[in-house]
Structure formats: C-alpha cells, structure tokens
Chain A
Amino acid sequence: MIWLGIDTSNVPLTIAVVKDNQLLVEWTSSIKVTHSVGAMPAVEEALRQADIKPNELDAIAVAEGPGSYTGVRIGVTIAKTLAWTLKIPVVGVSSLQTLAGNGSLFKGIICPIMDARRQNVFSAIYTNELDATLPDGHYALDVLLEQLAATEEDILFVGKDVAIHWEAIQQVLGERAIRAPFYHDLPKASVVIELAMKKPLPSIEETHHFVPDYKRITEAETNWRAEQQKAGQNE
C-alpha cells in the first residue's frame, strides 16, 4: 500500500511517500515560501524520487488543521483533488496530533503549540499514546497553562512556535516544562501517514465533502453573531 502524506498547516511544508510501512521519501522545510508555490512541486519531486506514478498511489493522508486557514486549505485542496481524480481515499489527520506525534517516545504528556496571535494558541494535550486529554482547540495561552498546571507529569512542548511563549510557559510550569529539540519542532508528513493508517479508510464518495477542521468560525461570523445578540437584547 502506497501513501502520500502532506502537511501545509503552518509555515513548515512536509511531504512524504510511504510504501508498505516503509518511508521512501520525506521532504520537510521551514522557509517562508508560500505553499501555493512550494507544495505541488514538492509532491511532484517526492513521487519522482520514489519512482512512483500518481496512479500507483493507494491513499492520501493530509493534515486537516488547525493552523493557518490558507495554509491548511492548500494542503486539503491538493489532497482532495488528487484523491478525487485518482479515485482513492483521502484521510484527514489533526495537525496538532501530527506535531504531538514527534514526541511519542517521551515519558510524560505532550503539548503541541501553534501560535494564533494575541496570546492565543492552537493547542491540545496528548498522552504519549497520542490520545487527546484536552481536545484540539483555540485557547488563550493562560487557560491552556492553567490546564497543564493541573496535571502531574512532565510536559513536552512541541512546535516551532513554542519559542514565542516559552518564557510564559516556564513561569507557570517551571521544570515540568520540557522543550523538544529543534529537529522535533517541525511536523513530519510520515507522522501524518502513520496517524492516517490507524484510522478507517473513508469511501471515495466522501472525498467531495472533505474539508479542513478550522477549529474556529470566521471573524465575520463571530462579529455577526455578536451583533445579532446585541440586537436581541435591545428589543
């Protein structure tokens, strides 16, 4: 069984090809090149190097969010278009679980972090078996840290955005907070594939309806709802 894995949820880009449980090619970068420019050439190159033609693929695994809205959409659009036109299944995997997967050998709990501006993060708390004890979501940093303070184990922080909040994290959690080495800070498409392999394969009819898991409604929608509520109260 041959898998193509894609993660474009944030600045890093990662593409992998796995054949019969073996990683053939993985390409990961973290340079500021827009995914629209970088992603398809990387897919093309990874398959070329693995000497695999598109129609030899059996399934596509893609990080479905959360993350940068545009970033997630590029990966999901590429994955669902490939899957639809190749008539193979596409499996979506949490972008946070993918990051957490980098720390799966850690003895303790794992906290993947993606910065979401204004002291907010996309985050979750995972066991080292990658079960979420705090679900993927958009959290105020202090709320997340409060949740983590209530745990007892050591906590591995994963992701390149950990650097942004490291001081605040250490202040609250002290020595229980452990930073992953830099080479574990980028998502790996091989992990996306590994997580996808554990999920049931969806039918190919479901591909059209596959969309990102944004974990947030749009700002316009939030404002609109607030206005509606205000109008309701004024009546």
Chain B
Amino acid sequence: MTKDQIILGIETSCDETAASIVRNGREIISNVVSSQIESHKRFGGVVPEIASRHHVEQVTIVIEEALKQANMQPSDLDAVAVTEGPGLVGALLIGINAAKAFAFVHQLPLVGVHHIAGHIYANQLVEPMQFPLLALVVSGGHTEIVLMKEHGSFELIGETRDDAAGEAYDKVARVLKLPYPGGPHIDRLAHESEEAIDFPRIWLEEGSYDFSFSGLKSSVINYMHNAEQRGEEIKPQAVAAGFQNSVVEVLTAKTLRAAKQYNVKQVIAAGGVSANKGLRKSLEDTFAKEGIPFTVPPLFLCTDNAAMIAAAGSVMFEKGHTSTMAMNGRPGMTLFDWN
C-alpha cells in the first residue's frame, strides 16, 4: 500500500478565510470556512481593504481549526497548497504569506493554486474526473467554458466578454433592491413566480461559445425604468424569473453544444453561481436527457473553500509543480497547464 498524500489547503482570495485538509486529492478530512459576508453587507459588496483586515484576523485560527478537526499535526502533512490568484491582491497575500511561514517552519513544499482550477477540482471531491471533460465555471468573477483533455490541462473554449454571470446577478439584485449577495435572492424569487418577463437571450455570433451579460442586465434595468415611468406595477418575482431564465438558457445551451462538439465523457459545473438551483436543475435535466454524465459539487463546495484548493494542489504537487518562498499574489493570473 502506498502512503497517503495529505495536503493542507489555504484560500483567502476574496471574502472567505478558509483552510482544509484533503487526503489523496479526493477525501475531505476537514474543511473550515470563516465567512465575512456579514461585514460587507452594509457596503453592498466586498470591500477589499475590509476583506484583507478580516483575513489577517482569521488566518491562523482557520488553519489551527482545520488541523484540529482532522486530528493531525503539521508533521502529518505532505504539502501546503494556497490560492496564488486570481483574486483581490491584498486578500491573496494573507493566505500566501501564512502558507509560506507555515511551510517554512515545517519544511513542507508550497504549491500555488489557480482559484478557478480549485473550483473545477472541487468535483474531484465528489467523484473522479473523466476525460475529455468540459467545465462550466460560473462565479462573481468568472464565466468560462473550459475543456480538459487530462489532469492539469486547460483549454479555454469560451468566456464572458463583459460581466461575469454572478456579477450580472448582483447588479440585477441591486436594481430589485435585494440584499447583498443578490444571487441567492434572485434564485429564490424566480422560483416563487409562475410568470416570467421575456428578456433577450444574448447568443453572440453563430458558433461562439463566448457569453455577454451586460446587455441582458441593461434590458432588465430598462424594463424596470419604463414600467416605473408608466406607473405599472413591477413584480420582482417575474423580473427575477425572466432574468434567470435568460441566463440559465444561454449557459445550458452553449455548454451542451460544446459538450457535443468535443465529445466529452463528463460535464461539470463549478464556481459560486453553480449553487444556483435554477442552473443546477437545467444542467442536470439537459445532460440526463443527452446521456452525458454531469456533476456539480454540493453547495458547500461551490462557494469559496480551501478543500478545492487542496484538491487541485494535490494534482499539481504530483506533477511536481511547487513554488518558492518568493511566491507573489497574482490577481490577474490565468489558468495554465500543469503538464
């Protein structure tokens, strides 16, 4: 029997301070997340400086808790994986410097992980990936279709040309005067409505796998504005349902078309917006009908967490991708191949 590989993951790229211990890249031993949502609510969005201040308060606490819950000592670990980017630079630097100091003391290899690779590898914690694989990554900062032919290989098939899907959700939520973060509220309202306002679907040019959500967002704002001027009653539920239908239909259709074109063995969804019930159901139904295996992580692995960073770090570590003590935060980091 070969020895287990145990990785400590650390994530501080946005507004969650998180640490986790994962065995063999597949099994979560502990998963600790300290969320700051409450601190940012009154500002209507994440304030980078406040996020950084919280991270420095929480970072050693979450690492200790992750070790404690796993009932492990630093000497049980094989490597430390940390989010290197993309994200808020001041926030990233807290996780990175804590990871470095910890790795230095315990003489552990350091692995810098791409945040989106982490979201994709959250699926490894559910079931093993099968290649070729298509990943739909949807979050507050990303909307991408990524083709993976094997572990650590990422080919960008399509991406948003303006707003990320989650960003559009937040902006529409603000127009509907819903509390921050708005995504879950729109999802909830959309499910309360039988009727849906008809908003456009933005397909872009034929054959494109890219997305655009800023036009849709403008349509929603125009609709609200016109209705207000005419003194018509606005049903937030119907607006939410109409907006969500448009987003979900475009995301589902483009993912399906790409899945067929690239003849993939598995489709996965990743990122914060993959927690959206409307999107999950649409993808599940569509791929079940097409007979293509589809996985989406449980809700707690869709939002930012460190287990996914450890899972991705596990594969990178196996492939020999380690970082040095001079690692910097890379707020604009792009997905790169590990092979």
Contacts and interface: CB of A to CB of B under 8 A. Distances in A.
Interface of A: 34, 36-41, 43-44, 54-55, 69-70, 73-74, 76-78, 80-82, 84-86, 207-209, 211-212, 214, 218-221, 224
A221 B49 CA distance: 10
Interface string B41-63: 01100010110110011011101
Given A40-B326, A41-B326, A82-B105, A73 B60 contact: no
Nearest to B67: A85
A70 B97 contact: no
A44 B104 contact: yes
Interface in B30-78: 42-43, 47, 49-50, 52-53, 56-57, 59-61, 63-64, 74
A210 B93 CA distance: 17
Contact of B328 (A37, A54, A78): A37
A74 B221 CA distance: 42
Given A40-B326, A74-B93, A84 B60 contact: yes
A77 B101 contact: yes
B56 A211 contact: yes
Interface residues of B, number: 34
A43 B43 CA distance: 38
A84 B90 contact: no
Given A74-B97, A77-B59, A211-B57, A41 B325 contact: yes
Contacts of B326: 37-38, 40-41
A9 to B, nearest CB: 14
Interface string B86-104: 0001100110111011101
A198 B222 CA distance: 65
A211 B133 CA distance: 44
13 contacts: A37-B326, A69-B90, A70-B93, A77-B56, A78-B101, A80-B56, A82-B104, A208-B60, A209-B57, A211-B57, A218-B47, A218-B50, A219-B49
Contact of A36 (B60, B61, B328): B328
Nearest to B59: A77
B323 to A, nearest CB: 11
A223 to B, nearest CB: 9
Given A36-B328, A211-B57, A85 B93 contact: no
A73 B50 contact: no
Given A73-B56, A76-B56, A82-B104, 4 more contacts: A36-B97, A41-B324, A78-B97, A218-B50
B106 interface: yes
Contacts of B47: 218, 220
A73 B59 CA distance: 12
A212 B90 CA distance: 14
A81 B94 CA distance: 10
Chain A, interface SS category: helix
B90 A81 contact: no
B209 to A, nearest CB: 35
A32 B50 CA distance: 25
Interface of B: 42-43, 47, 49-50, 52-53, 56-57, 59-61, 63-64, 74, 89-90, 93-94, 96-98, 100-102, 104-106, 324-329
Contacts of A39: 97
Nearest to B43: A220
Contacts of A82: 101, 104-105
A208 B59 CA distance: 8
A85 B329 CA distance: 22
A80 B100 contact: no
A81 B93 CA distance: 13
A220 B93 CA distance: 20
Nearest to A80: B60
A193 B268 CA distance: 52
A43 B96 contact: no
Contacts of A37: 326-328
B53 A211 contact: yes
Contacts of B98: 77-78, 81
Contacts of B42: 224
Nearest to A223: B43
A208 B90 contact: no
B96 A218 contact: no
Given A40-B100, A73-B94, A220-B50, A81 B60 contact: yes
A1 B98 CA distance: 24
B85 to A, nearest CB: 12
A73 B104 contact: no
B328 A40 contact: no
Nearest to B54: A211
B105 A55 contact: yes
B33 to A, nearest CB: 17
B59 A81 contact: yes
Nearest to A34: B328
A84 B328 CA distance: 22
B322 to A, nearest CB: 14
A220 B51 CA distance: 11
B101 A73 contact: no
Contacts of B101: 40, 43, 77-78, 81-82, 85
A37 B100 CA distance: 11
